[in-house]
């Protein structure tokens, strides 16, 4: 199929293209069958014509043709010879003399007397009458050297061939038209579920543009099998819509939670700035100690707000770019994260023990998750206490000696913006552990919190991987 015809077909609908292809296949099949049938019929007719000569030897006095003896054929006038219907005959003597012909004269071959044929044996070939009509010619040599030429008029058979060919062509075209119409109806019925899916998807797109998230379930396909194409389409569309709805729900929840969490530091910043401006405008400056406390609060609130925005941007960027998979020495990542956390908290002691472990994943995301896990442990640990960090067989364990967690808090700690009642008095936006859980899930692992025997909390981050090769 040429590029022009391909572009032409691209303008059609799927139903029209399928109908055309079905009709085209039907026409090709019918044309092939018609050609084979035509060839078989023509061959059978030609064979019967040849058999008619062999079944009625022209030279036999009592043959089907009822030819007179050769001497009579040359002695009589052509008007006295009997009519042979479709057949015509003529005798040529050995000296080349032509006797009168019975029926329409034949155009005799120039080499008719020179043919190397055995006496009494028929030689069949195509010929033509003087009028130009096609003929089948049988040539028979006699012992005296004379040759008898008998021709049969093939005009009626050629008319039959023409009629048969036209009938087969017409039947092929009618069959193609019928196939086009029937295929169109069948394909329209077969694509009706797909049409409903398209209408549903268009309605879902319009609803999504309008901000509507509560969509009905996609239309079911009746009579489907579990593994046919329509069933797979139904499952794929249902999964896609469920994923889109889940993404929209997460986005709305993220916006709502972010707005709620940002409101507190922004309100505090606005109040403190308003207090400073009011004191300057009224020319009643605040006491130096009070102003220092206020400025320190502004600094802490701006840092808290900046960290919250960084966490939001990092969380969003991870979902946009996905996971950049490459071999990551996770033990080295843990060591780097521990050094970063130690620089930010000099009032705790970090004890780090790791063993080699290689992970297929994103090294920056893994390091961010480990830093968040360590920052969380340091934030809730009393000054001067020890935080233990251990990596064994892909499981990172962080043990602190803080207040610990309850079972309810352990289940909710990895939710976005969730903070316990005691954590609300400390810096943070509630996204640190949510990022840990997100990174763990994207790498095929998980994260968990549990109470530590004797007080404190045990945080674990499991990341599947492998031990490095000894080489």
Q: Residue 446 burial (CB < 10 Å; 0-12/13-18/19+)?
A: middle
Instruction: Report the pLDDT value the prediction gives residue 420, as an integer from 0 to 100.
Output: 56
- The CATH number assigned to the domain holding 328 equals 3.30.565.10
Helix axes 229-281, 288-321, angle to 10 degrees: 160
What is d(CA 426, CA 459) in angstroms, rounded to the nearest whole number? 19
Instruction: Report the pLDDT value the prediction gives residue 60, as an integer from 0 to 100.
Output: 37
- Indicate whether 466 belongs to any domain: yes
Q: Considering only CA atoms, give the Rg of the chain.
A: 50
**Is 50 exceeded by the pLDDT of residue 80?**
no
Strand partners, 354: 391
What rounded mean pLDDT belongs to the chain? Answer: 76
- The CATH number assigned to the domain holding 299 equals 1.10.287.130
SS3 category, 397: strand
DSSP percent split of the chain into helix, strand, coil, nearest 5: 55, 15, 30
- Indicate whether 11 belongs to any domain: no
Same domain, 460 and 334: yes
- Range with the lowest mean pLDDT among 129-143, 240-254, 414-428? 414-428
Cβ-based neighbour number of residue 304 at 10 Å: 19
- Indicate whether 131 belongs to any domain: yes
Measured over the CA atoms of residue 352, residue 358, residue 360 and residue 362, the dihedral's sign is positive
- Residue range(s) defining the domain that contains residue 292: 213-321
Cβ contacts of 194 within 8 Å, gap of 6 or more: 230, 233
**CA 350 to chain centroid:** 53
Q: What is the model's pTM?
A: 0.46
Tokens 């009625």, residue located: 56
Same domain, 71 and 133: yes
What is d(CA 188, CA 144) in angstroms, rounded to the nearest whole number? 78
Among residues 284, 299, 321, the one where a domain terminates is 321
Q: Which residues of 390-426 are buried (b: 16+ CB within 10 A; e: fewer)?
A: bbeebebbbbbbbebbeeebbeebbebbbbbeebeee
Among residues 122, 157, 192, the one where a domain terminates is 157
The predicted-structure confidence for 254-289, as pLDDT tens digits, reads as follows 666 666 556 666 777 787 777 777 777 776 777 777
What is d(CA 106, CA 111) in angstroms, rounded to the nearest whole number? 14
Same domain, 302 and 247: yes
- Indicate whether 177 belongs to any domain: no
What is d(CA 414, CA 449) in angstroms, rounded to the nearest whole number? 9
Tally of structural domains, the chain: 3
Per DSSP (E only), the strands in 51-187 are 87-92, 122-128, 134-141, 147-153
Instruction: Report the pLDDT value the prediction gives residue 333, as an integer from 0 to 100.
Output: 93
Same domain, 338 and 469: yes
- Indicate whether 184 belongs to any domain: no
Instruction: Report the pLDDT value the prediction gives residue 63, as an integer from 0 to 100.
Output: 37
Instruction: Report the pLDDT value the prediction gives residue 341, as an integer from 0 to 100.
Output: 84
Cα-based distances in Å from 401 to 182, 285, 375: 79, 44, 13
Instruction: Report the pLDDT value the prediction gives residue 64, as an integer from 0 to 100.
Output: 38
Same domain, 316 and 330: no
Same domain, 348 and 373: yes
Four-CA torsion 17, 19, 21, 26, nearest 10 degrees: -170
What is d(CA 243, CA 40) in angstroms, rounded to the nearest whole number? 62
Q: Residue 105 burial (CB < 10 Å; 0-12/13-18/19+)?
A: middle
**Is 80 exceeded by the pLDDT of residue 311?**
no
Cα-based distances in Å from 113 to 32, 102, 110, 116, 425: 44, 19, 8, 9, 128
**Is 90 exceeded by the pLDDT of residue 331?**
yes
Same domain, 300 and 427: no
pLDDT > 90 in the chain, percent: 17
CB 410 within 8 A of CB 376: no
The predicted-structure confidence for 359-382, as pLDDT tens digits, reads as follows 998 888 898 889 889 988 888 888
**CA 247 to chain centroid:** 24
Exposure on the CB side of residue 224, measured as CA atoms within 13 A? 18
The predicted-structure confidence for 114-170, as pLDDT tens digits, reads as follows 666 666 677 788 888 888 888 888 877 777 777 788 888 888 888 999 999 999 999
SS3 category, 90: strand
Same domain, 466 and 346: yes
Instruction: Report the pLDDT value the prediction gives residue 65, as an integer from 0 to 100.
Output: 44
Among residues 276, 300, 321, the one where a domain terminates is 321
């Amino acid at each position: 199929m040429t590029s022009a015809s391909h572009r032409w077909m691209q303008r059609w609908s799927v139903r029209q293209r399928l109908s055309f292809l079905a009709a085209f296949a039907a026409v090709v099949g019918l044309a092939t069958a018609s050609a084979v049938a035509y060839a078989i019929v023509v061959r059978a007719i030609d064979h019967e014509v040849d058999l008619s000569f062999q079944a009625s030897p022209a030279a036999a006095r009592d043959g089907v043709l009822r030819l007179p003896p050769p001497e009579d054929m040359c002695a009589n006038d052509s008007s006295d010879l009997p009519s042979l219907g479709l057949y015509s005959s003529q005798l040529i003597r050995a000296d080349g003399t032509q006797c009168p012909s019975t029926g329409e004269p034949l155009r005799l071959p120039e080499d008719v007397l020179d043919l190397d044929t055995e006496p009494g044996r028929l030689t069949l070939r195509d010929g033509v009458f003087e009028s130009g009509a096609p003929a089948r010619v049988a040539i028979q040599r006699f012992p005296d050297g004379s040759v008898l030429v008998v021709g049969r008029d093939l005009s009626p058979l050629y008319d039959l061939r023409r009629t048969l060919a036209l009938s087969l062509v017409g039947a092929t075209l009618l069959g193609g038209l019928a196939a086009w119409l029937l295929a169109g109806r069948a394909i329209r019925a077969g694509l009706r579920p797909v049409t409903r899916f398209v209408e549903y998807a268009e309605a879902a797109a319009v609803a999504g543009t309008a901000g509507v998230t509560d969509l009905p379930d996609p239309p079911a396909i009746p009579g489907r099998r579990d593994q046919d194409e329509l069933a797979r389409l139904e499952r794929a569309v249902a999964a896609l819509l469920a994923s889109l709805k889940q993404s929209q729900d997460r986005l709305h929840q993220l916006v709502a939670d972010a707005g709620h969490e940002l409101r507190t530091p922004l309100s505090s910043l606005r109040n403190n700035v308003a207090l400073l401006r009011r004191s300057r405008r009224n020319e009643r400056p605040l006491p130096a100690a009070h102003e220092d406390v206020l400025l320190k609060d502004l600094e802490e609130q701006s840092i808290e707000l900046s960290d919250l925005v960084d966490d939001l941007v990092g969380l969003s960027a991870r979902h946009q770019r996905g996971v950049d998979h490459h071999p990551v020495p996770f033990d080295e990542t843990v060591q780097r994260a521990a050094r970063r956390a130690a620089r930010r908290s000099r009032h705790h002691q970090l004890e780090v023990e790791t063993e080699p472990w290689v992970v297929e994943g994103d090294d920056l995301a893994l390091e961010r998750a480990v830093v968040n896990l360590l920052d969380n442990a340091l934030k809730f640990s009393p000054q001067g206490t020890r935080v233990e960090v251990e990596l064994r067989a892909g499981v990172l364990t962080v043990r602190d000696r803080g207040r610990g967690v309850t079972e309810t808090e352990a289940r909710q700690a990895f939710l976005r913006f969730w903070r316990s009642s005691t954590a609300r008095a400390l810096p943070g936006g509630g996204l640190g552990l949510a990022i840990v859980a997100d990174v763990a899930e994207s790498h095929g692992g998980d994260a968990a919190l549990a109470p530590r025997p004797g007080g404190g909390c045990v945080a674990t981050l499991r990341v599947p991987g492998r031990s490095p090769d000894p080489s």
